[in-house]
Amino acid sequence: MDVKINNRKLLLLLILCLIPFFGAIFGIVLIILSYNQKDKILFKIGMLGIVFTFAVYATIYFISESHYDSNKQYVKLSRRTLFILKQDIENYKNKFGKYPESLEVLEKSNDMIMIADPILLSKRNREIKTTFEYKSNKSSYILFSVGVDCKANTNDDIYP
């Protein structure tokens, strides 16, 4: 059973193959028909439907995974930065006999000190403070990251 396919029908087949999920099913049907009719154009359109569907779902998967992984990476980076910052605070106390009044004071004492929280920097929101949380008195201090939710005193806060 040979069926002549004109340009209009080819365009319709091509459009149907570009619908994710249905394009893959339709692509398989077209590949089977292409073997029966010995038609290379049907085969190519069928493969396009399968490949396009795979590409769409792979992209959705990798975008969602990379967002989750990037949060995990920023948490690791914040932990490392907090650890180094804690050492810098102790070095400041040894040098000046007291804890710094603020992280900005600590940063002014040494250009190599980073007081910005990588998690908060990754949000790219100018309305939020991007430094770690820090409070001190004469004998102690509290230093932490607000975590991924950007709110202090929640379960995802990160301490050195």
Q: Which pLDDT score, from 0 to 100, does residue 83 have?
A: 95
Average of per-residue pLDDT across 60-87? 81
Q: Taking Cα atoms as reference points, which of 122, 127, 114, 125 lies closest to residue 148?
A: 122
pTM of the entire predicted model: 0.57
pLDDT bin (cut points 50, 70, 90) of residue 60 is confident
Average of per-residue pLDDT across 104-132? 87
pLDDT 10s digits, 5-46 = 667 777 787 788 888 888 888 888 888 888 888 888 888 888
CB 130 within 8 A of CB 122: no
pLDDT at 1 over 50: no
pLDDT greater at residue 2 or residue 131: 131
